[in-house]
Structure 1
């Protein structure tokens, strides 16, 4: 992620020139590390005024000042949840965290596709593990909905058991949990989206949630690379449980939208602008299948118009990350202002009045921005 502007409190020479363009000249993972370091030191701009009342959103009992969240993948180790919230995100999702620390895949493993506004990653759930994330979060006061995205260690003998451990560890600390079974960078992980495997996973995860002191909402994050039969199967399983919602979607392994461009042949998941249409169509198709079940739309948001399109396709709230690499952190303010403008222009009182108004178009491949 990249700063397009930094706090005027910048005093450290090494960070004084940490602009968006400077970071784009760095290796992608180095730039990401520099941004995390800057946030940890309090060098990010903070929200200057309250969010407009039209943006107030309730999802799964969580009251959000606005529906725009930081997606998982940015703050893998729960280092900067509070600074992100202070910048104005309505929710902040850390992780993915696994029970044991793991180094992830060999570097380089993060690649930009500048011409398309895309990013490919094959990070491989690199993180410091449950204990490190828990230790940081228990001491942070995060003025936004705090999500913890839980995953499984690559060498685990039982992926489902790892997710249960994640629920047990974070259920009483997080405002919501996300079960991430859709990363393409852990071999075999996406198989948990299949019918019987998903039944077992959700059964054990929700049983563990039931034993927690608080009833924390649980979301399932799914891949965009699913055919309609797979969407049907997931919807059938999910609606037979008390799962709270879905996050649609993770990165894609397809490359049609970036064919022939720099880094397009790198292995991993593609995110950013090239993912927008695919992820939004899957979002709308799941909305048609799950009725009023809460949905968080993520994948390819890069402008106020695309943020609005996610809502109209069926999202109750949205998340972004990759587009900030190219658009800068002021994109957050631009998105929120754009949503307010759209609400007022259509004579609505709240963003919720726009949810799903164009689901049919997006589900049929006729969506426009």
Structure 2
């Protein structure tokens, strides 16, 4: 009997619950009401022609000066694209679309494109949002140097560092002698390639020989507010061949660029930096490595390690001294990028070469 009562109560509760659920079910929707009043119009956007005219008009004086400067730059007039167009392995620095793809992928070289000349949208995000954000740099943040893995920060000039650095290569092992190249079977273009400015600025990748000079551990130009751009893209002037997007620098131009003339008011670059001595040491190093048969001047488009001949071996230190010659000569500043460091490297390396 007790069980029957409990069962009856449970049954009543179930029926009651079902009834409540049925009572709370939503009925069919009623007819839609009338539309509400229209909201206020938003602010008018910029006229399309006005947006384009920021860069593409006769009145865009600042941008037109940038165009004129770039026309005179080696990025525009040099052989970097003519010589390497279509080469995927070169495209990360020598083509515009290759550079963009490599930056997007976070790698050094592209995987599929290398067909476009270097232009505005190589370095900037042109025609993305069609406003001032399109002028942002494609690469931001420190750059990991290919040769050493060092994270080098040149502020707004980090886009420059991606390409103006030594490419990677394997260091010579510690054996007493090595055959650098053997005919066509070994790569004669061993070494840092052509653009070594970032390595010289960062003091990474070069080889330190003992000698009369102590190797400095800091760069007098290491704290420039805008890195490379502080000098090479100094304040705009009315002269398209100076600073800005010409990227051009000579001692005479230091008096015209605000970022330089504070320290170099007379344009006298030689004072305190021994630039003429550095240039002379580079020339003397070149004579030695060529006379020794280590460097071939007939290599196109520039000098490289010579193809080895029977018995023409190089020691590890001889290879490294020759690489130092490549680093500081291909920096192409005669020490301006890092005066005291380059002087010490050149002096000690030359003293070693004279003993060979």
TM-score (norm 2): 0.26
Choose between structure 1 and 2: higher strand proportion: 1
TM-score (norm 1): 0.25
The structure that has the greater radius of gyration is 2
